[in-house]
Structure 1
């Protein structure tokens, strides 16, 4: 063994502890999940083509403690599927609503909190929410809804352009294809 000292690691605190990162995902969970088939069982007998799916997406963030750095970020997704009815009109095929949340700790400058909460946090939650939505629609008897990737930067910029500084609000999502 050698008696030479290694240079200090820039990623450790003076007491040898590892400092927390700028963004820490503490917990993620399904806060609410709803799946309805209003026209069941008849819809399954009359459905002859892929239903048209309208999606809405909303991101909300709120602090969990006054003046703290721990936040709940909520990704809300609603999918309304409309199918052609035998009489030439449309009928609801299904309605799926998902509220998927994460508890995040942020250790950043105050000017970075909003973009982290409304861009990076939902980006981390999205793959899990996407999977839940695909599973619930498939398990409900329909082709799984496969959401395309979401540009959370564009949604955040759109929200900032509307002057919403409350970390609340949403934006419609373009229709996606089911597979």
Structure 2
């Protein structure tokens, strides 16, 4: 087949369509790091031994803040993992970790930035934080703990609902 000359009609249509399309979101992970890590093997401190069935509780908190450089944000995932014996209720271990990421984010509308920072950024960090938790628990003398995937959308919605309920409760107290 022969090449056909470009008459510019297609280019004009693409440019017109490009003007209607919002700029594509850009996200780069500039850094990720353990900000704080603590692991207490309470089982070995007490000298207890034997087979125990663990009951593991995981708490996740998220925080995000703007950095001084334009379009840069720091997102911190705070994990607290407590393991207790199902039979006795004795604490086996406590792991606390703050895992942070520095992100370069552009072209996200202001009204969508908050959920983006607290949903998409933690999704990028989570596999690395999971690996650290697994390694630390294994190196601490326990079977490696592989955290289940966290639904950050549900976590975000639950936090928004909690804050709205808290605000409504405060307003009712002021009215009384």
The normalised TM-score by structure 1 is 0.72
Secondary structure at 1:90 match in 2: coil
Residues 1:54 and 2:57 are matched in the alignment = yes
Q: How many residues align?
A: 147
Q: Normalized against structure 2, the TM-score is what?
A: 0.73
- Residues 43, 49 of structure 2: 8 Å contact kept: no
- 1:89 counterpart residue number: 88
Q: Deviations over 1:79-118 (max 9, x none)?
A: 111125xxx6322111101110000111122122112101
SS class of match (1:40): helix
Q: 1:69 aligns with which of 50, 68, 71?
A: 71
Deviation of 1:21 after TM superposition, in Å, equals 5.1
> In the superposition, relative to structure 1, how do residues 95 and 20 fare at CA in structure 2: closer, same or farther (>3 Å)?
same
Q: Tell me, which stretches of 5 or more residues in structure 2 are unaligned?
A: 15-22, 165-176
Equivalent residues in 2 for 1:21-40, closer than 5 Å: 22-40=26-44
Larger RCO of the pair (alpha carbons < 8 Å, separation 6+)? 1
- In structure 2, the residue matched to 1:15 is none
- Higher helix residue share: 2
RMSD after superposition: 2.6
Q: For residues 26 and 47 of structure 1, what CA distance do their matches in structure 2 show? A: 45
CA deviation string 1:17-58 (max 9, x = no partner): xx9952111110010111011342544x42312311111111
Kindly indicate whether the alpha-carbon contact (under 8 Å) linking 1:106 and 1:113 is maintained by their aligned counterparts in 2: no
The gaps in structure 1 that reach 5 residues or longer are 11-18, 165-179
Residue correspondence of structure 1 range 24-173 to structure 2 within 5 A: 24-43=28-47, 45-65=48-68, 68-83=70-85, 89-107=88-106, 108-163=108-163
Q: Secondary structure at the match of 2:125?
A: helix
Query: In structure 2, how many angstroms separate the alpha carbons of the residues matched to 1:124 and 1:100?
Result: 12
Q: For residues 116 and 146 of structure 1, what CA distance do their matches in structure 2 show?
A: 25
**Computing the radius of gyration over CA atoms, which structure comes out larger, 1 or 2?**
2
* Distance of 2:112 and 2:105 partners within structure 1: 9
